[in-house]
A = this chain, B = another copy of it.
Amino acid sequence: MSKSVFLDDLEIGQSWHGGPIEMTEADIIRFASEYDPQPMHIDTATAASGRFGGIIASGWHVAAVVMRDFVEKAPFGDTPLLGLKIDDLQWRLAVRPGDLLSITREVIDIARSKSKPDRGVLTMQMTVANQDGAVVMSFVNLMQMPTRPR
């Protein structure tokens, strides 16, 4: 039986680590070919002579693999993670083939609903770094989370 973590169980400042996630050239091209088919993401020859000197991952691809890691790591057990809002999502540095990403997820706010006592909003700061420790992406994630049934 898998555990469930409820809003009541969490504390501000609590954090979890995710990754490592390897960004392969094949995965970068495959994602971008379907969802962000710009030359800088899918065309190695054009990208090589472009601004970044090679292909870089679509920012949405980085966001997607960070989500997958969250589901796999399951810090909250089988509690459904219903995303409500993302704020201040910044792509700070290019993600390139071979990069190995790690993630820090920290609770920065917990708000119980006044009108609906069975739920509340969990706010987390997500920070994604590469193998050099440089931050490549960061965002604030507001999720709806159930409170512990009484």
Contacts and interface: CB of A to CB of B under 8 A. Distances in A.
A36 B68 contact: yes
Contact of A86 (B34, B37, B58, B89): B89
A60 interface: yes
Contacts of A87: 87-89
Interface string A89-133: 111000000000000000000000000000000000000000000
Q: How large is the interface on A (under 10, 10 to 19, 20 to 34, 35 or more residues)?
A: 20 to 34
Given A35-B64, A36-B71, A58-B67, A91 B81 contact: no
A40 to B, nearest CB: 6
Contacts of A63: 60, 63
A35 B35 CA distance: 13
A92 to B, nearest CB: 9
Contacts of A53: none
Given A60-B60, A64-B64, A89 B81 contact: no
A141 to B, nearest CB: 10
A56 B135 CA distance: 31
Given A80-B38, A86-B89, A87-B88, A64 B60 contact: yes
A85 B80 contact: no
A2 to B, nearest CB: 12
A83 interface: yes
